[in-house]
Chains A and B, each alone.
Chain A
Amino acid sequence: MLIEMRGIERVYHLGRSDDVHALCGISFGVERGEWVAIVGQSGSGKSTLMNIIGCLDTPTGGHYLLNGRDVAQLSDDDLSDIRNREIGFIFQTFQLLARESALSNVELPLVYRGIRARERRERARAALSEVGLADRMRHLPTELSGGQRQRVAVARALVSQPSLLLADEPTGNLDSGTGEEIMKLFEQLHAKGHTLCLVTHEPRLAARCPRAIRLHDGRIVADGPGREVAFAQLPGSAA
């Protein structure tokens, strides 16, 4: 099992008495090669869960095993290394470095892994070709369209051959046509055997994933095939 969550809690201490329970006892597992959507409305805790899955944040309770390793107790440096090797992030706002070319942006994770310049360049080129941007490598992000920027971001996530691609509302800043292209790209990546985790508030997108986990108020309320979970009624909510 790639991801194993056991009773994950995340409490934010805002004041002396105002503790916010963003996640309350989350437990689930993700196998290698799965494509899972984490769906929920804003405030459901899905962003917090994504940060924990991506090792940007650590849970305040429970166990999170990534590749069999409990990451809850790891040091900051170890978490950095895990993010570098195991996780490929794809953000809603692309998060490309504006001053660097597409190629340099894609190279960045390999820089932090200490890989030599020549190999870095080759692998970054290959990743950009894989997302169909072989002819845009020298362009700055500002010289690319939204869809192309997100492709650069996907290439950056792929380049370090991570265990998990973690996409946070990847189509949120794109028009529906370009968003569709990105979803197609994910389908291709899934077909190639990549493990994907898509965090979204759109049931429409979650429905296209083989599996979806629905969060509500920091708890998992549904876990099953995407089509069923995406449009399921919340227990206790009005029709």
Chain B
Amino acid sequence: MSLRVDLIEGSRIAVLSLGVNRLRTLLTTLGIGIGVATLLCILGIVQGLNASFATQLSSLGSSTLWISKFPWVITGDDWWLYRNRKDFTLDDVQAIRDQSRFAAAVAPELGRGGSVSYGDRGLSHVHVTGTTGDYLTVSGFELQTGRAITDADSEYRKNVVVIGADVAESLFPHSDPIGAILRVRDLPFEVVGTLVRKGKFLGESQDTTVIIPFRTFLAAFGKRRGFEIGVAIENPDQLNQAEDELMSIMRRSRGTPADEPNDFEINRSEQLAKTYNQLTAALYGVALGVGGITLLVGGFGIMNIMLVSVRERTREIGVRRALGARRRTVIVQFLLEAMAVAAVGGSIGTLVGLAGAKLVASITPLAATVEFSTVLFGVGFSSLVGLLFGIWPAARAAALDPVESLRWE
């Protein structure tokens, strides 16, 4: 008999026996189901994060270097070390503007939170940025209407503001914000421009923001504040050369002794991506570990139930052998049955996992996408577990002596 016939007949018997022991099948598949559900849920969330992180990261401006006292990713407890470094000055900004060959745009960035109001409308937890001209190029924001903050605005400490999309929508739902006077932390500012919506970064809106001139910020909210310097690099391929150049400009400008290490950091979005990838790799690892162990447990459950099934059906095996079934036919029959049991569990687990991922996506800021390949992986992998753990019971079934099996009570 051909393998094709073995497969067809085996599938028929497998489906038949699933129907006979419905409750038992369901309970057996629970282990596999939970394993697959766990895997898919975590993978779905990680994939969602990956997808949104990639687009979000590009919104940071991939060709901008951010010079700061702090590295973006702090490991260990060096925070105080970074904090005690000397603050930057506008002279540093000017030095980069004057000396850098790679910089296309340079802008300082001061920031703090605060509330913004217009008439009886208000919005709290708004990110207030103090900066100079060129900030839009550096930050990746785009103007929707009006104009940007200029160096002159900063120089003359003008009370002008460019508002993010969230602020514009909340405070000016029905009117044109340009020319309106709104209050930022209780100080009056004239709106001169609005920004195009940029979207979320790690679940946090980047559009709940207002931009005011740098010196206005210092005068209004305090002089002793550290800031970062954003440097947009003309050619993204020259980020490394640009970094070297900026390093020496900054060291000179800050008077860092030659025998001491840098007292500042040059950050770029690539570093975030790297850290992020390390984080998700760890998540992947945990997901695979947890899911793998659960699948292993589920696999033993299947092996157990298949051994029971072989025992229960010893006489059936004897009859089939007497009527001409070869050993291979019996093996295929029980392997397919084990795979079918596992696939049922895998399918249930897939549905639960997808639902779980969607649930997480809907109640947390985490995104979750489940790719079709993941679903295939879930069902396919559980079938594979069924196949592996079905080998031993199937081999036992095939090794039964027909004479003995026929006598089995």
Residues of A whose CB lies within 8 Å of any CB of B are 51, 54, 56-57, 76-77, 80-81, 83-85, 89, 91, 95-97, 99, 108-109, 111-114, 156, 160
With A95-B319, A111-B5 already in contact, the answer to whether A80 and B406 are too (CB < 8 A) is no
Given contacts A56-B322, A80-B324, A97-B319, contact A113 B406 (CB under 8 A): no
A113 and B1 contacting across the interface, CB-CB below 8 Å: yes
CA distance A109 to B9 in the complex (A): 12
Q: Is the interface of A mostly helix, strand, loop or mixed?
A: helix
B104 CB-CB contact with A under 8 Å: no
Q: Is the CB of A114 within 8 A of B2?
A: yes
Q: How far is the CA of A112 from the CA of B323 in the complex (A)?
A: 8
Can you list 11 A-B contacts with CB-CB less than 8 angstroms, sorted by A residue number? A76-B326, A77-B326, A77-B327, A80-B327, A85-B324, A91-B406, A95-B319, A95-B322, A95-B406, A99-B16, A112-B324
Interface Cβ pair total, 8 Å cutoff: 61
Determine the interface band of chain B, counting residues with CB < 8 A from chain A.
20 to 34
B322 is contacted by which of A76, A89, A113 (Cβ under 8 Å)? Answer: A89
- Residue B329 at the A interface, CB < 8 A? yes
Residues of A within 8 A of B316 (CB): 97
Q: Is B1 a contact of A112 with CB atoms below 8 Å? A: yes
**Given the interface contacts A51-B403, A57-B403, does A95 sit within 8 Å of B327 by beta carbon?**
no
* B326 touching A156, Cβ below 8 Å: no
Q: Mark B5-25, 1 if CB is under 8 A from A, else 0.
A: 100010000001100100000
The 3 closest A-B pairs by CB, nearest first: A84-B324, A112-B324, A80-B326
Query: Which residues of chain B come closer than 8 Å to A113, judged between CB atoms?
Result: 1, 324
For A108, the closest partner residue in chain B by CB is B323
Supply 10 further A-B pairs (C-beta < 8 A) apart from A56-B322, A109-B323, A109-B324.
A56-B321, A56-B402, A56-B403, A76-B326, A80-B326, A83-B322, A89-B322, A95-B319, A108-B320, A112-B325
Distance between Cα atoms of A113 and B6 in the complex (Å): 10
Scan B250-272; emit 1 where CB is below 8 A from any A CB, else 0.
Answer: 00000000000000000000000
Is B197 engaged at the interface, CB distance under 8 Å to the other chain? Answer: no
Pick the residue among B16, B320, B327, B403 that contacts A76 (CB under 8 A).
B327
